[in-house]
Amino acid sequence: MIAKPKGTYDLYGEDAKKVAYINDVLAAICEKYNYEFIRTPVFEATEVFHRSVGDASDIVRKETYDFEDRGGRELTLRPEGTAGVVRSYIENKMYGRDLQPVKLYYNEMMYRYERPQQGRMREFNQFGVEVLGCDDPFIDAEVISLAYNIFKLLGINNIRVNINSLGDRESRDNYREALVKHFSKDIDKMCEDCQERLKKNPLRILDCKVDKDLEIMKNAPKTLDYLNEESAQRFQKLQEYLDLMDITYEVNPNIVRGLDYYNHTVFEIEMLNEEFGAQNVLSAGGRYNGLVENLQGPETPGIGFAMGFERVLLALEAEGVNVPINNSIDVFVGYVNDEEKETALYLVQDLRLNGFICETEYLGRSLKSQFKTADKLQSKYVIILNSDDIKNFEVKVRDNKTKEEENVKINDLVDYLDMNM
RNA sequence: GCGGAAUUGGUGAAGUGGUUAACACGCCGGAUUGUGGCUCCGGUACGCGUGGGUUCGAUCCCCACAUUUCGCCCCA
C-alpha cells in the first residue's frame, strides 16, 4: 500500500466539514474588517524566505523544502505566509495604491521539514493577515482584535492573549546586549540548549523549559525596561486601545518571537487547556518594520499574524465546541425497476436545480435498504417511485418525520416541498 | 537532529510460539415476494505495519526500517 508522506494528512469526512466551516467564519470576519484575500505561489525563489528570516537559527538550514527546478532555479516551498505576501506587495507596487494601508489575508498550505507531532505537520494550513503601510499602534490593536475575535466567533474561549514589545531596533539591540551580559556570567549552570542559544538567539533563552525556575532566569532583564521613550509610549498606547475594545490580555515579557525581523508589538494567543499538549500556541504574530526593505522594497511598516488550522481543530475538540454542520438532506428518491430509475434520474436533477439537497439509490439495493439509507442521511422527505404513480404523473412523498404519505403531481412537487419544508 | 511509547479487519479492540485469529460496532443479504429504523438468522481479515533473522513451525522471540504518538530542539 502506498502511504501518504510523513507529516501530511488527508482532509476528509467530519474534519473537512469543520475546516469548511472555519473557512466560512474566517472569510466572513475578514470581510467585516475589510481585509482583502491574496494568494501567492506555493513556491518562491529560495531567496524570498531566506532573506526574510535572516540567517538566524536552524530554520533556513534544515527546515525548508528547497529544490531546484528543471531550469536550474533555486526554489522553496513556502514555509510561512508573510514573506510571499511581502514579495507580492513589492512586486505589484501595492505601496502605490490610493487606498492605504493595504490589508491582506491569506489561507494556504505551508511546508516545513520538521519532526511531526500533534498539531505540527510538514504540510499544514495557515490563515494569516498582513497590514502594510501603517505604523500606528492603532492598527496593531486591530490586528490583535481580529485574531482574538476569530476564536471568540469559533467558540474557543479558553485562551489567553499574550503581548509584549521588543521596541525599535535601538531598544532591541540594547536589550539583547543586556541579556547576553546577564546570562554570560553563569551560563555554565544552564542547559546545553541555552548555552547554544546564548550565541545564536539569546532572546529565546527566556522561554526555555528546562531552566525556567533558575534564579538567573527570574531576575533576567525585561524587554520592557529597555524600551526607549518612543517605544514605551507605543506599547502604552497599544494597551489602551486593547482595553477600549474589551480584549483581555496579559503583558508577558517572555514572549519573544524567534526571528530577527520583529520589533515593537509581538503577541501570541495560547490555548489554556492543561491536556492540550506542547503545541499550544494557536496564533502568533507581530510587527515587522524593516522586512519590506529587506526584500528590496521601499521602507514600509508592517504587522501580521498567522493561525494554524490543525491546532484550531484540536482546540475546537478540546473545548467541546459543536461546529454547526448540516448532515441532513432534503429528499431521498427511492426506486426499484428501470422505468422508475429513469424517472429518479430526471427527478433528482430537477429537485437539485430547484435548490433541494437530494440523494437517490446508486447500488440497486432493496427498497428496504433504501429506506435505511434515507434514515441515515436524515432525509426530510422520501419519495418512493412506483410505475403506476408515474403513469399518472404522480409520486408518493413521505414526510420522514410524521411518516405520512401523500401522492403529489410531479409538476407540483417543487411547490409542495417548498411549502412543507 | 535527540529520547520514550505504539503498530492486529471499514472501526473499537481480545489473544496465543503450532489445526478454522475472540467479541462488539459497522456494512451486505434474508425472515418481511415494494415501505425501513426493533428483533432474529447468515455473510464479512490478500491474515496480525514492512523487510530480514531465530525455530520443525511465528501475529506472538530478535534486528532493521517505516509510520503514528508523547516530549526535546526549532517555531516564520
- Provide the pLDDT for residue A284: 94
Residue pLDDT, tens place only, A160-211: 999 999 999 889 889 989 989 999 888 888 888 888 888 888 888 888 888 8
Return the ∠ at Cα A190 (arms to A186 and A195), rounded to 5°. Answer: 90
Q: Distance (Å, rounded) from C-alpha A392 to C-alpha A409?
A: 8
DSSP secondary structure, A50-90, as one string: HHHHTT-TTHHHHSS-EEE-TT--EEEE-S-SHHHHHHHHH
Closest residue to B68 measured CA to C1′: A117
Which residues of chain A, if any, have pLDDT below 70?
1, 55-61
Determine whether the distance from the CB of A386 to the nearest atom of strand B is below 7 Å: yes
The reported pLDDT for the residue numbered A257 is: 79
pTM surpassing 0.95? Answer: no
Task: Say yes or no: Cβ of A269 under 7 A from any atom of strand B.
Answer: no
- On whether the CB atoms of residues A106 and A80 are closer than 8 A, the answer is no
So what's the pLDDT on residue A198? Answer: 87
**Cα A169–Cα A171–Cα A174 angle in degrees, nearest 5:** 105
Q: Which domains does chain A have, with CATH numbers?
A: 13-168+228-318 (3.30.930.10), 331-420 (3.40.50.800)
On the question of a cis peptide bond just before residue A101, with omega within 30 degrees of 0, the verdict is: yes
Strand (E) positions, A218-356? 250-251, 263-271, 281-287, 302-308, 331-334
- State the pLDDT at residue A366: 87
A2 CA to B45 C1' in angstroms comes to 19
Cα dihedral A208/A214/A216/A220 (nearest 10): 50
Closest C1' nucleotide to A82's CA: B76
| pLDDT computed for residue A61 by the predictor | 62
| Residue in A70, A87, A147 with CA at minimum distance from that of residue A78 | A87
pLDDT at residue A59, as a whole number: 62
Q: Which bases of strand B have any atom within 7 Å of the beta carbon of a protein residue?
A: 1-2, 27-30, 32, 34-37, 46, 66-76
Q: By the 8 A CB rule, do A114 and A295 touch?
A: no
What letter does residue A2 receive in the DSSP assignment?
P
* Residues facing residue A105 across a β-bridge: A37, A129
In whole angstroms, B55 C1' to A116 CA is 38
The answer to whether A106 and A127 are in contact (CB under 8 A) is yes
Please report the ipTM that was assigned to this predicted complex: 0.83
Q: Which residue has the cell 432493496?
A: A366
| pLDDT score at A334 | 93
Q: How far apart are CA A264 and CA A286, in angstroms?
A: 8
